[in-house]
Structure 1
Amino acid sequence: MALLGEALEELRRQSFTGRDAEVAQFREAVRGPGVTFVHGPGGVGKTMLLDVFARVAVEAGRRPVRVDARHLTLGADALPTPVDADRPALFIDTYELLEPVDDWVRDTYLPSLPGDCPVVIAGRQPPRPRWRADPAWRVLTRVIALGNLPADDARAYLSAQDVPVAMHERLLAISGGHPLTLSMLSDAVRRGVTPRTLADLPDVVGALIANLVDEAPSPRHRAALEVCAHVPATTEDLLRDMIGGDVGEVFAWLRGRPFVDECPYGLYPHDVVRAALDADLRWRDPARYSDMLRRKLTVFLDRVLATPHEQTRLDLLAHTVVLNASRSHIAALSELPPSLRAYADGLREGDRASILEMTAAWQGAAQADLVAHWLDRRPEAFRAFRGATGDLCGYTACLQVTEADLGADPGVDAMWQYVSKHGAPRPGEAVRIWRFFLDREHGQRPSPSLTLFVACQMLDIIQLGGDRGWSLVSAFEDPERWTPAMEFLDFWPATAADFTVGGSRYPVFAHDWRRAGITEWATAMHARQLGAPARPPGDGIEAPVLSECEFGDAVRAALRQLHAPDLLRQSPLLDSRMIRRNTRPGTPAVRTLRELVEAGVAALEPADRELLTRTFLRPDTTQERVAAALHLSFNTYRRHRDRAVTRLAAWLWAHEIGDPGC
């Protein structure tokens, strides 16, 4: 009668897929002495691979000796002593538990084994430096870094588990090919669940957290893990900004985790660990999750702005776009691929012909003619997207337009007419239009170029100058696909500005930064990331945008109403860009207005400052008596008063339109 263990072994054998290169490497190693060191994060399939290696050892006429360090309760001396006559092959699993006696294993235990005994060690960490420092062990040690299953092997595994083919790509996207995650997702499918993300399966997330992530030694270590899961790359300074205090020891601990890798920008965890940590914290502690996202946004924006080179800023943003998009339910965002080694660049010689050729091929001759017009008129507005070899793979153009640019491009004409109707740019305010985007091979379908294009738009928002009036996007051709994504980014469909070129209709998306500045934008983005209620994109589009003359009249009225709160609360200045930009969280807009008026008065010449203070800020008598106290006739006083008010209005107007000299 067959044993239950034999049946289990056969089922495991049938479900095993892939790892052909690793098995071939062990077939060579099993012929003689030496150590094969297999390392990788939890759930990546080390134990399953050791099962296969054991069968290979049997085929080679050897007797497998299996040891799992989790079961060694008597200390290191409980390790077995294989007998030479048995032609043994030794397999040690969960070796990370034996790391305290690693020197003894390497220098004493392994040298005592039979001379031709192959050894396989499997653990979460790679061999310690002393294995590589010893020239003898360096020759006799083979290292296998075990990663996730390649896509074809992962599909083969899902087929072996009878998962419907229609679900393969979704499960691959969720798991990234991580074997344990694939196994748990397959089980969920068998239970009738159709997961969209790991967040749909709290039980799976809990199991992955327990298996993948070592127990953090303190709340600060756990917080560091959660930060690492939510930023593209973690450095000591970023960790210090996020969790505070001395983070040297915590960062070193994080760096030593087997599921954490390094890149030029810092540390980052494996994708499945990111997803599991994100889903776990969001489910377990929604309030802390929300707070961390808010702090992360502030810290990350500061970090981007402090980065000196635009290429590095774009790299950071491209990583962030892909990371955040992978958690999105919006198809246009969730399908954005990594930018790989693609990068944004200025135009080079020969780019013009390539850009026009790809535009004509994808969007027709009429659109190509418009691209040619702007290449001649605004070449600095174009960014070229290049692959690793420097070849042009796509492009975009962001035009800053004025009324002088009208008449050549029906798209620009339509958008200018829209902004003129809904809030014409005031003197010094810019209108920027993302007018073109294409990838040479993929058009506007997912590509590294598309990811870079989105990153360029995000960088443009982050680097908003005080002079920005409008941003518009008219580069996309598919409104059904891109409307949800653009609304998530707080750009509303400006359907009245949609236009047609060469038979193709281009939707327009708009954002007026005077009505919803960077603070409101960040607040709305944060709420939408959490799935919390957020103001609709375009909310407040009907709020007036004051002209300079209207603004001056509102300042004069506000001065008269400074000590009449009910009247001041009706001031149109409270909806102004100046107030939104300077209002602190929790501070009433009326208080901000008073503070700005006082700051403006303080910035004036002494005579004007005294006159406005006595008349409006701290009036304690009539204006006639103020004139007498200043030794002025009343007519002269009124002339000086009106001149001082005009100067104050000019100071406040400079803050309204973002004059950098104010």
Structure 2
Amino acid sequence: MTSLRDSLRDLRRRSFTGRGHEVAVFRAALGTTGVLFVHGPGGVGKSTLLDAFAQVAPEAVRGDARHFGHAPETLPVPSAGPCPVLLLDTYELLEPVDDWIRDHYLPSMPDHCLVVIAGRQPPGPRWRADPAWRVLTRVVALGNLPDADGRAYLDTQDVPEALHERLLTISRGHPLTLSMIVDAVRRGTVPDTLDDLPDVVGALLGQVIDEAPTPRHRTALELCAQMPVTTEDVLRPVIGDDTGAVFAWLRARPFVDESPYGLHPHDVVRDALNADLRWRDPDRFAELYRRKLVAVRDRILATADERERVQLVVLAVVLNGRRSPHDALRSLPPAMGAYPDGLRDGDQDPIVAMTRRWQGEQQAGLCAYWMRKCPTAFRVFRDRRGDVRGFAARLDLTERDLGADPGADTLWGYASQHSPARPGERVRAWRFFLDAEHGQGPSPSLTLFVACQMLDIMLLDDDTAWTLVGAFEDVQRWTPVMTLLDFREAGAYTIGDTTYPVYAHDWRRAGFTAWVDRLHAQQFGAPARLADADDHDPVLSENDYTEAVRSALRDLHAPELLRSSPLTGTRLVRRQSTNGRPPTEALRELLGEAASSLTPDLHRLVERTFLQPVSTQERVAVELHLSFNTYRRHRDKAVTRMAAWLWDRETAASAYT
């Protein structure tokens, strides 16, 4: 008679997929003396794998640390035989007596006994330090299911094939997550992200993540989930004095891995923590997200080596891309050892050859032209061996560059038509991009190209008026991404048989801080802006700027009028408006600094007329012993000089930062 246990075992056996390598390792080890130490985070399938081992070795004795105490008589012992096998599950609960198990319990096993230990943590340092155990122990790190195994599992669960890609993307191949999502689908819910399944997220966190001992530990987990990588300096502003101990706790979590740049959680844990916090406390999620943006930029700017900087940006780009609704970002692969470099002798021929292959003879000729004219504009993407894998070019265009390249002409023409660069300002244009093997498809070169663009924005000088991107070919694929990044559609140009869309951002209208604020707002549901959203806020010419200074001085003590001054949107005022200071306060301060640059007689006139007016202008003229006509000439001269002083800093602001 078949028991319920038999039915359950049969159903589990039929739904088991994948893990062929691990099962093969177990089969090969049967009949030998030693330990297979299987480790992995909660929900990754360690117990299910032990079920599969038990199918291979039906005489195996199995024990689960949840079901017995630490007394010697409660621990299982396999019977003597030709191939004794002991399967020991949930070993993390036995870590307090790990030394006793290694030194006394396991050595008492029968000869030729194979012991399989399954736990969340890998074997501790004393296992590795003992030369005998080092020989007898094989460590098996259990990760998420590969796509093929995940699809096979979904087939066994009769999930429609049309849903496979979506469910595998959401679950990251994590077996427990995938199983719980399948259950949700059977109950009638087809999610787009984990955010759609708060009950699954709650249950998943309960299974995967240990209880954080204090609110600070929980905060460290939540911040780690947001950051590309986490180090103590990232945690310190949030955690405080005990950062080292909290970081050590975080480092010891089985779902947290180490990289050369810091700690990062497993993808499914990151997704679950973020989905839970966004659902449970959206304001706190938004606060941590903003802190993340600041912390990532601060860390990147504090890194001197350019290759290291780019790699940190790559981590952020790949992480954020995986969460993106846009396939162009979601499909960005890791850099896989590729790195950006300058143009070297011998690079020109492979770059021209790949351009000719992918984009035709005319584009190849233009690429060769720019390499001769502006070799420092090129970023060459190299593989681990230093060979050319791909390239990009960022040109600083001027009017002298017109006439040789239809692409450069279009890029410059858009900026000139919509808001020309003022004296001392730069028009920056990304003109070329290719990967040798994949063209403009997903590749490490594409990831590096996106990372270089992001880094360029982080390092912008105040003298950059425009950034334009005219290097992509696929308008359908990249327009939603560039709109998300606050780059408007700005026409297109054709080279050979290929049309390249152009995207543009005017940094004088929306500087870096405003740009980050817009990205943050869109992250939390704000709609993308219309292409002409900033056109009502023109960039001031020098004459307009002088008139705006004159008006601001007149309105200096009328807050409602001063708030509407076009000067409040200028780069100079934005840079002064830090730490939440109102733009009008920053503008008053700048006008005071400009007045202080005047000669003493003109400074006194401006102070009594505008900064601290005490009477009518006629009375001020009398007090200064000037005729009214002379007073007005001096007043106008002072205002003109103040405007020139401010204009000089507005158009060449990087020299004064």
| TM-score relative to the length of structure 1 | 0.94
Give the corresponding residue for 2:151: 155
Q: Is 2:642 the partner of 1:648?
A: yes
Q: Is 2:174 the partner of 1:178?
A: yes
Task: Identify which of 562, 565, 584 aligns with 1:568.
Answer: 562
RMSD: 2.2
**How far, CA to CA, are the matches of 2:98 and 2:513 in structure 1?**
53
Give the corresponding residue for 1:97: 93
**One-letter identity of the residue aligned with 2:367:** V
**One-letter identity of the residue aligned with 1:592:** A
**One-letter identity of the residue aligned with 1:655:** R
Structure 1 stretch 64-73 or stretch 219-228: which is displaced more? 64-73
Question: What per-residue deviation string (whole Å, max 9, x for no partner) do you get for residues 297-338 of structure 1?
Answer: 111111111110111111111111111111111222222222
**How far, CA to CA, are the matches of 1:135 and 1:414 in structure 2?**
69
Give the corresponding residue for 2:120: 124
**How far, CA to CA, are the matches of 1:10 and 1:124 in structure 2?**
26
User: What's the CA shift for 1:83?
Assistant: 4.4
**Structure 1 SS opposite 2:340:** strand
**How far, CA to CA, are the matches of 1:404 and 1:528 in structure 2?**
38
Q: 1:209 to 1:462 in 2, by over 3 A?
A: same
User: What's the CA shift for 1:459?
Assistant: 0.7
**One-letter identity of the residue aligned with 1:616:** F
**How far, CA to CA, are the matches of 1:588 and 1:21 in structure 2?**
62
Residue 90 of structure 1 contacts residue 120 of structure 1 at CA under 8 Å; is this kept in 2? yes
Q: Is 2:343 the partner of 1:343?
A: no
**How far, CA to CA, are the matches of 2:561 and 2:269 in structure 1?**
56
Give the corresponding residue for 2:20: 20
Q: Is 2:493 the partner of 1:499?
A: yes
Residue 486 of structure 2 contacts residue 529 of structure 2 at CA under 8 Å; is this kept in 1? no
Q: Is 2:285 the partner of 1:289?
A: yes
Q: 1:623 to 1:532 in 2, by over 3 A?
A: closer
Residue 490 of structure 1 contacts residue 538 of structure 1 at CA under 8 Å; is this kept in 2? no
Q: 1:570 to 1:529 in 2, by over 3 A?
A: closer
Residue 499 of structure 1 contacts residue 506 of structure 1 at CA under 8 Å; is this kept in 2? yes
Question: What per-residue deviation string (whole Å, max 9, x for no partner) do you get for residues 516-559 of structure 1?
Answer: 11111000000111223464454112322111122112212222
User: What's the CA shift for 1:192?
Assistant: 4.0
Task: Identify which of 216, 235, 240 aligns with 2:231.
Answer: 235
**Structure 2 stretches of 5 or more lacking a match?**
none
Q: 1:521 to 1:34 in 2, by over 3 A?
A: same
5 Å-filtered alignment, 1:569-588, equals: 569-584=563-578, 587-588=581-582
Q: Is 2:548 the partner of 1:554?
A: yes
**How far, CA to CA, are the matches of 1:534 and 1:246 in structure 2?**
41
**Structure 2 SS opposite 1:195:** coil
Task: Identify which of 61, 64, 67 aligns with 1:65.
Answer: 61
**How far, CA to CA, are the matches of 1:321 and 1:537 in structure 2?**
24
Q: Is 2:411 the partner of 1:415?
A: yes
Q: 1:560 to 1:102 in 2, by over 3 A?
A: same
**How far, CA to CA, are the matches of 2:529 and 2:396 in structure 1?**
28
**Structure 2 SS opposite 1:661:** helix
5 Å-filtered alignment, 1:36-55, equals: 36-55=36-55
Structure 1 stretch 532-541 or stretch 259-268: which is displaced more? 532-541
Task: Identify which of 470, 479, 482 aligns with 1:483.
Answer: 479
**How far, CA to CA, are the matches of 2:571 and 2:364 in structure 1?**
38
**How far, CA to CA, are the matches of 1:23 and 1:335 in structure 2?**
32
**One-letter identity of the residue aligned with 1:654:** D
5 Å-filtered alignment, 1:367-446, equals: 367-446=363-442
Task: Identify which of 221, 224, 236 aligns with 2:220.
Answer: 224
Residue 76 of structure 1 contacts residue 101 of structure 1 at CA under 8 Å; is this kept in 2? no
| TM-score relative to the length of structure 2 | 0.95
Residue 486 of structure 2 contacts residue 515 of structure 2 at CA under 8 Å; is this kept in 1? yes
How many matched pairs?
656
Residue 232 of structure 2 contacts residue 247 of structure 2 at CA under 8 Å; is this kept in 1? yes
Give the corresponding residue for 1:599: 593
**Structure 2 SS opposite 1:408:** coil
User: What's the CA shift for 1:598?
Assistant: 1.8
Give the corresponding residue for 1:526: 520
Give the corresponding residue for 2:132: 136
Residue 486 of structure 2 contacts residue 528 of structure 2 at CA under 8 Å; is this kept in 1? no
**One-letter identity of the residue aligned with 1:563:** H
**One-letter identity of the residue aligned with 2:568:** L
**Structure 2 SS opposite 1:508:** strand
**Structure 1 SS opposite 2:446:** helix
**How far, CA to CA, are the matches of 2:225 and 2:503 in structure 1?**
32
Structure 1 stretch 266-275 or stretch 128-137: which is displaced more? 128-137
Q: 1:613 to 1:364 in 2, by over 3 A?
A: same
**One-letter identity of the residue aligned with 1:119:** V
**How far, CA to CA, are the matches of 1:605 and 1:92 in structure 2?**
86
**One-letter identity of the residue aligned with 2:54:** A
Q: Is 2:29 the partner of 1:29?
A: yes
**One-letter identity of the residue aligned with 1:27:** R
What is the percentage of aligned positions where both structures have the same residue? Answer: 62
Structure 1 stretch 143-152 or stretch 373-382: which is displaced more? 143-152
Question: What per-residue deviation string (whole Å, max 9, x for no partner) do you get for residues 541-579 of structure 1?
Answer: 232211112211221222222234454344332333333
Q: 1:509 to 1:85 in 2, by over 3 A?
A: closer
**One-letter identity of the residue aligned with 1:646:** T
